[in-house]
């Protein structure tokens, strides 16, 4: 165990599997937890002076760590705190990157603020939400993020990135694409609507509230989302084997009109109709889960110690003693079959570390 400097402790050879929801992977050569902004700066200096590769760990919910682990420094950002500022119906919440995401959603809904109620039940921390532009059930965080406050490792100082600078796209942002590894997120500011109406874009939510004669409350929508997610094994429940996953493992493909026509024709030739949803620029988003199931990988499928959730075809699970290699082999088997059957290479959602 190293003290660097006096205020921050850096541990050696720390197991990472228990810090992830998938529960696979080897150790970190060095590990530090940042509870202050200065801790982040010190950790970056520690890694740079020793020429160590650097990785930022959030809630561990969207992550696959290699069996060999990570040869450098893993930094877990644990900065907390929630600060609110109101202007009429608009509420600005600035939240520490280490704050639990679902706890924030519960707090926001309890204060009758709209904007993230459909993102209930998503595991992980606040700092991870801008990276992947987390979205579900008709909402994306990009719709509410006002700005991101981050440590710029290239410039060696903090920086504020307003929403446009984050370059949000479907499950993507500058933080996991153009500027991958440059920024360490410290705080996120969200703009919410006090007293705003709930969002009911998603088909399952429409169905759930079909008989309601009034617009459902934010709390009713949150409870409905949690109920739907539990039924799909997408809420972390202690003792539930389907909870040992990284959530949705593949992104829903977004296709041009010509690409969609081609795959729809392929489905029709098999007597099938592929579900699709409108996307930006007249594109079509299709169901990755449908592609997986119609390529021979049903719920409960097993390949060695890795498998598919019994509740949702998009969740790859650790059945109890899986290694990262087992998860990767299953991932590749699914990708190869889907590409052979449908001509589409599924893109994984989780971050792969140490591979």
Q: Are strands 63-65 and 351-353 parallel, antiparallel or unpaired?
A: parallel
From CA 95, how far away is CA 105, in angstroms rounded? 12
Number of CB atoms found within 10 A of residue 217's CB: 14
Q: Which pLDDT does position 289 carry in this prediction? A: 95
Nearest Cα residue to 351 out of 53, 23, 61, 44: 61
Structure confidence at residue 235 (pLDDT): 76
Domain covering 2-77 assigned CATH 3.30.43.10 in the classification: yes
Question: Any idea which residue has 């690409």 for tokens?
Answer: 259
Its pTM stands at 0.87
List, by residue number, the catalytic residues.
171, 248, 349
Distance of CA 229 to the CA centre of its chain: 14
Dist CA 106 CA 123 (whole Å)? 13
Reported as a single tens digit per residue, the pLDDT across 254-263 is 999 999 999 9
Question: What is the tens place of the pLDDT at every residue in 303-322?
Answer: 999 999 999 999 999 998 99
> pLDDT per residue over 23-55, tens digit each?
999 999 999 999 999 999 999 999 999 999 999
- Could you tell me what percentage of the chain is helix, strand and coil, using 3-state DSSP and rounding each to the nearest 5? 30, 30, 40
Q: How many residues does the chain have?
A: 355
Residue 266: is it exposed, middle or buried by C-beta count within 10 angstroms (0-12/13-18/19+)? middle
CATH code of 82-231, in short, is 3.30.465.10
Asked if pLDDT for residue 185 goes beyond 90, the answer is yes
* Domain formed by 241-252+287-353, architecture: Alpha-Beta Complex (3.90)
Residue 1: what pLDDT?
57
- Identical fold at 2-77 and 241-252+287-353? no
User: Could you identify the residue written with the tokens 């599997």?
Assistant: 17
**Paired residues of 11 in beta bridges:** 31
**The two structure tokens encoding residue 40:** 């982040």
Say how far apart CA 181 and CA 44 lie, in whole Å.
11
Dihedral of alpha carbons 255, 261, 265, 268, sign: positive
Integer distance in angstroms from the first to the last C-alpha of the chain? 26
Q: Are 225 and 248 in contact (CB under 8 A)?
A: no
Res. 243 pLDDT band, cuts 50 70 90: confident
**In the chain, where are the structural domains located?**
2-77, 82-231, 241-252+287-353
pLDDT band at 234 (very low <50, low <70, confident <90, very high): confident
């Amino acid at each position: 165990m190293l003290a660097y400097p006096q205020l921050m402790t850096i541990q050696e050879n720390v197991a990472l599997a228990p810090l992830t929801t998938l529960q696979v992977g080897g150790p970190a050569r060095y590990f530090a937890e940042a509870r202050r902004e200065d801790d982040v700066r010190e950790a970056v200096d520690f890694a740079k002076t020793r020429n160590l590769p650097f990785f930022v760990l959030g809630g561990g919910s969207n992550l696959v760590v290699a069996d060999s682990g990570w040869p450098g420094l893993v930094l877990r950002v644990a900065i907390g705190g929630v600060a609110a500022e109101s202007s009429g119906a608009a509420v600005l919440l600035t939240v520490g990157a280490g704050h639990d995401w679902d706890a924030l959603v519960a707090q926001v809904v309890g204060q009758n603020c709209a904007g993230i109620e459909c993102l209930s039940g998503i595991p992980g921390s606040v700092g991870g939400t801008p990276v992947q532009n987390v979205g579900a059930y008709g909402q994306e965080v990009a719709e509410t993020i006002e700005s991101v406050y981050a440590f710029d490792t290239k410039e060696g100082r903090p920086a504020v990135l307003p929403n446009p600078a984050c370059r949000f796209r479907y499950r993507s942002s500058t933080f996991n694409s153009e500027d991958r590894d440059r920024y360490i997120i410290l705080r996120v500011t969200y703009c919410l609507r006090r007293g705003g109406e709930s969002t009911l874009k998603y088909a399952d939510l429409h169905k759930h509230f079909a008989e309601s004669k009034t617009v459902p409350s934010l709390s009713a929508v949150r409870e409905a989302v949690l109920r739907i997610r539990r039924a799909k094994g997408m809420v972390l429940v202690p003792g539930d084997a389907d909870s040992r996953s990284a959530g949705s493992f593949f992104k829903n493909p977004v296709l041009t009109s010509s690409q969609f026509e081609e795959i729809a024709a392929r489905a029709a030739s098999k007597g099938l109709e592929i579900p699709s949803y409108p996307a930006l620029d007249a594109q079509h988003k299709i169901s990755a889960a449908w592609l997986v199931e119609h390529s021979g990988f049903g719920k409960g499928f097993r390949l060695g110690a890795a498998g598919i959730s019994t509740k949702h075809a998009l969740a790859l699970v650790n059945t109890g003693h899986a290694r990262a290699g087992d998860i990767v082999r299953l991932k590749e088997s699914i990708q190869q079959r889907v590409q052979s059957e449908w001509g589409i290479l599924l893109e994984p959602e989780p971050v792969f570390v140490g591979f």
